[in-house]
Amino acid sequence: MMNKKAYKRIIPGFGLSFGITLLYLGFIVIIPLCSLVIFTAGISPGVFLETVTRPRVLSSYMVSFSTALAAAVVDAVMGVIIAWVLVRYQFPGKKLMNGIIELPFALPTAVAGISLTHLTTDKGWIGKMFHDAFGIDIAYTRLGITVALVFIGIPFVVRSVEPVLEKMDRGVEEAADMLGAGRTKIFFDIILPEIAPALFSGFSLSFARGLGEYGSVVFIAGNKPYETEIAPLMILSQLQEYDYTSATAIALVMLIAAFIILLINSYIQSRSAKITGGMA
Amino acid sequence: MKKRLGKVMAFVAVSIMIMSVTGGCEAAKEDSTGDGDVMQMTNVSYDPTRELYANYNEVFKDHWKEKTGQTVEITQSHGGSSKQALEVANGLEADVVTFALEGDIDVVADAGLIEPGFTSEFEHASSPYTSTIVFLVRKDNPKDIKDWDDLTKDGIGVITPSPKTSGGARWNYLAAWYYFEKQGMSEEEIIENITKLYKNVLVLDSGARGSTTTFTENGQGDVLIAWENEAFLSMKENPGEYEIVVPSVSILCQPTVAVVDEIVDERGTRELATEYLSYLYSDEAQRVEAENYYRPSDTDIIEEYAYDTSDNVITEVPEDGKWIITNIEMTDIEHFGGWPAAIDKHFNDGALFDQIYEN
Amino acid sequence: MRVRKNDGPVKWVLITISALFLFVMLILPLIYVIVTSFKDGVQYFVNAITDEYAKKALILTVWVTAITVICNTVFGIFAAWCLTRYSFKGKKRISALIDLPVTVSPIIVGLIYVLTYGRQSAVYPILKNLDIKIIFAVPGIVLATVFVTLPFVAREIIPVLNAKGTEEEEAAALMGASGFRIFKDITFPHIKWSLLYGIVLCAARAMGEFGAVSVISGHLRGKTNTLPLYIELLYQGYDFTGAFAVSSVLVIMAVCILILRSIFEKNLIKNKD
């Protein structure tokens, strides 16, 4: 049967490339992840459930979840605006703007965390402004965590939406415009549906990344239990108490969450590919 | 052009193999010891001892050279005490460990790397230097903080690390507990007061150094509960900005050291490692410790550095280097039944510290 | 470029919003890093970045980044080829697996490697006998970095290959060209710019990885301290100016990489047209 399949493939090299891909993924991703699963499998389901539903652990999920969600929403909105500006408009400084989008990938998360913290405390450049003008503190609150996560996630959205906007046929827009459709109507009825799958892909990546982010958040979070303690820190503090079982249990929950987000995303992507594929 | 690109790809494929192999070998080679007359050892320690061991290592290198003619290279690793302990237990190869508390060395011992009874291997239960917990406040002490009960008052911003992740913070917590206990309070009243204290905590960093940074660089809070040596270091770094307030009672913190038996036997560095730790008790090293604001274990040397005043506030780092305040009552971990009992009662999941935040 | 004539105000409002947002979120932290690093004068800055341990950390970081990029590039090419040129069962699952590393918390990445290769694992005695050290040594740092940056190259090539279709390659194959020749003569010219772009992103991310490496490195000064870990070390050693000075080295490296990136991107667009 294998032969029959291979016969159908005209381009040679399937065995080699498939083998290398699988081997590499196996060593780097699958085996280590399996060891996590094996480790947690040693725990009885009761203990596992008890561990991952402790009030403090639950609240750390909530902190991570709510801040990552808020940050992903901000990223989605700002990402679409920035991508739009970059694709549709010509203006001085455009190249610079385009160039710095990936900065959050390139800047070490610890450096980002430290400098964002310094900027947003009530003594920092930005924090002082907000503190004096609105009485809002940024650093050491959930708002601060959200700021750090917005920083981390912005390139995901911009870079997912940009290519779709570039490829979009402007004829439809122009036609709608000539027919007298308002700008908001054009955006929501024509542009948004078109970029929605890409936007969701960027949104879910930045959301998932935000859930797990540690380096930049730990400096700005304040780490108060039930208020600003994030789930990755929870894992780390369990590790420091030599409580491997709890650490791996919580890690497994987060891993599953990340995987679910990816699955939803890939489902949406494949569905939209089918729709657009059908249209083409 | 195209041909060249093909060659590049082939080259890349080959170099990945070579690099990953040499990368592995090189790393293994670098760590091997006893290369000619150069001995290598690794000291895995906790956060606040960076300056201490940077100085001590120089002293020890000279000492060892004089004694045996060999040159020693010492690699340092610093981080949160518990985290470091866990890494050693997981295979980080340390010849000696110098941690914030005995409980952290227990972890390494439990993993089978250190033989039991390490506390009797060196003098003073294997703690060559000690420290205690004090308050660091802003210049002129605007909130008038004098003792532990001031920390429970409304409107005081306290900075301390989390006892869940920081060894130092556990000492902070126990010192506070002892103070309230000494006021004759029942356990409920103590818990109530400790709860009030932690309600005043603005930022609960994961390590002692993080807290110090939050207090000094980022200007958060009115008082930092800190290791004595950390407090002095902050004063030294930022003269005229802070004051140290020594509370009426505190706790004797006994950082513990040990030789990692499995590693030294494997590398043949037992003699060196043992000498490294026992030399911490020499007069010369004890002075280095005192100069880095650790309390020496030798009572004569403590005398040399004793601060001669009955006042419990230090507004600037004494110029003559005499900084040790002896007018302080200190409890120790034995009062709490040793570390395993203390951890069980206070710091484990669902134990007293967790309950504070649940209410 | 066809611009609608009533685009004026909206255009500038949107540009201002974007610029302001990017300035506050991305540029200001950069400026802060650089300003702080010169707070104590140029000499201090020079001393901080020419410190022996800083140099060692820099070399290690460059080394780790190079190995990571090479591994992931080779993998990325094979994986992209495999996923776009053939159809087979489980393709979607493999595709999802490639994306997974981006979303796994760096702490968990460190944790799983410690569990797999640490002293408590089953393979530890075998590795020990072979005298191979993985965690708390350079190979562990490389592994963690490879994991974190795994999808970057593959994700850049896959869309290009998908868009291109397989006709040319199939024709060449029918004419009897070998797999390697097909790749080199037909596929490679199409993907070279996006490949470079992926490599650049991968390098940028590998350079700055902190969380995962921090769990697995052991923080041995001068041996397993990468540049981001060294920055943390300085930061916690009260040497803020030094920490920011070394950070600015990383920032400058990152900015250089971003400049490279925009050069590649220009070529990428040209190539498309």
In a domain? residue C17: no
Q: Which one of A111, A138, A207 would you mutate to disrupt binding with C, by most C Cβ within 10 Å of its Cβ?
A: A111
- Of A124, A140, A241, nearest to B164 by CB-CB distance is A241
Task: List, for residues A79-117, the tens digit of each pLDDT value.
Answer: 999 999 999 888 888 888 888 888 888 787 888 888 898
CB contact under 8 Å between C100 and A259, yes or no, is yes
Looking at the structure, do residues B74 and B172 belong to the same domain, yes or no? no
**Residue A248 above 70 pLDDT?**
yes
Residue of B nearest to A127 (CA): B218
In a domain? residue A75: yes
In a domain? residue A3: no
Task: List, for residues C217-267, the tens digit of each pLDDT value.
Answer: 888 888 888 988 888 888 877 788 888 898 888 888 888 877 877 777 777
Q: CB of C224 within 8 A of CB of C122?
A: no
The whole-number pLDDT of residue A81 equals: 93
Domain that holds residue A63: 53-279
Task: List, for residues C93-137, the tens digit of each pLDDT value.
Answer: 888 888 888 888 888 898 889 888 888 788 888 888 888 888 899
Looking at the structure, do residues A37 and A140 belong to the same domain, yes or no? no
In a domain? residue C119: yes
Taking residues B303-320, report their average pLDDT.
81
In a domain? residue B302: no
- Of B107, B219, B357, nearest to A225 by CB-CB distance is B357
Q: Which two tokens stand for residue C123?
A: 């393979």
Q: Which two tokens stand for residue B309?
A: 């005043």
Q: Which two tokens stand for residue C50?
A: 């020419």
Looking at the structure, do residues A28 and A83 belong to the same domain, yes or no? no
Q: Give A246's contacts in chain B (Cβ within 8 Å).
A: 349
In a domain? residue B18: no
Q: CB of B136 within 8 A of CB of B215?
A: yes
Question: How many domains does chain C fold into?
Answer: 1
The whole-number pLDDT of residue C64 equals: 94
- Of A117, A139, A242, nearest to B86 by CB-CB distance is A242
Whole-Å CA distances, A188 to A45, A183, A196, C13, C17: 47, 9, 10, 19, 20
Q: Within an 8 Å CB–CB cutoff, is residue B161 touching chain C?
A: no
Domain that holds residue B79: 38-127+255-291
Looking at the structure, do residues A26 and A161 belong to the same domain, yes or no? no
Q: Which two tokens stand for residue C18?
A: 């974007």
Task: Name the residue among B303, B311, B298, B163 with its Cα closest to residue B225.
Answer: B163
Q: Within an 8 Å CB–CB cutoff, is residue C240 touching chain B?
A: yes
User: Using 50, 70 and 90 to split pLDDT, how confident is the model at C268?
Assistant: low
Looking at the structure, do residues A90 and A19 belong to the same domain, yes or no? no
**Residue B15 above 60 pLDDT?**
no
Which residues, 6 or more positions from C12, have their beta carbon under 8 angstroms from its beta carbon? none
CATH of the domain at A194: 1.10.3720.10
Looking at the structure, do residues B94 and B230 belong to the same domain, yes or no? no
Task: Decide: helix, strand or coil at residue C88.
Answer: coil
In a domain? residue A8: no
- A201 C-beta neighbours (distance < 10 Å), count: 21
- Of A122, A226, A233, nearest to B206 by CB-CB distance is A233
In a domain? residue A224: yes
Q: Within an 8 Å CB–CB cutoff, is residue B201 touching chain A?
A: yes
Residue of A nearest to C253 (CA): A106
Looking at the structure, do residues B189 and B315 belong to the same domain, yes or no? yes
Q: What are phi and psi of B133, to 5 degrees?
A: -105, 130
Q: CB of C187 within 8 A of CB of C161?
A: yes
Looking at the structure, do residues A101 and A184 belong to the same domain, yes or no? yes
Looking at the structure, do residues B188 and B100 belong to the same domain, yes or no? no
Q: Which two tokens stand for residue C38?
A: 């010169």
Q: CB of A211 within 8 A of CB of A259?
A: no
Q: Which two tokens stand for residue A153?
A: 């996630």
Task: Decide: helix, strand or coil at residue B301.
Answer: helix
Question: How many domains does chain A fold into?
Answer: 2
Q: CB of A267 within 8 A of CB of A197?
A: no
Measured distance CA(B280)–CA(B286) in Å, rounded: 7
In a domain? residue A6: no
Looking at the structure, do residues A230 and A183 belong to the same domain, yes or no? yes
Taking residues A243-250, report their average pLDDT.
85
The whole-number pLDDT of residue B16 equals: 47
Question: How many domains does chain B fold into?
Answer: 2
Task: List, for residues B63-85, the tens digit of each pLDDT value.
Answer: 999 999 899 999 999 887 888 88
Å from A46 to nearest chain C CA? 22
Q: CB of B289 within 8 A of CB of B52?
A: yes
CATH of the domain at B273: 3.40.190.10
In a domain? residue A199: yes
Query: Residue B41's beta-bridge partner residues?
Result: B74
Task: List, for residues B91-109, the tens digit of each pLDDT value.
Answer: 888 999 999 888 889 889 9
**Residue A238 above 70 pLDDT?**
yes
Q: What percent of chain B has pLDDT over 70?
A: 89
Measured distance CA(C107)–CA(B206) in Å, rounded: 15
Q: What ipTM does the predicted assembly reach?
A: 0.82
Q: Within an 8 Å CB–CB cutoff, is residue A183 touching chain C?
A: yes
Looking at the structure, do residues B206 and B247 belong to the same domain, yes or no? yes
In a domain? residue B140: yes
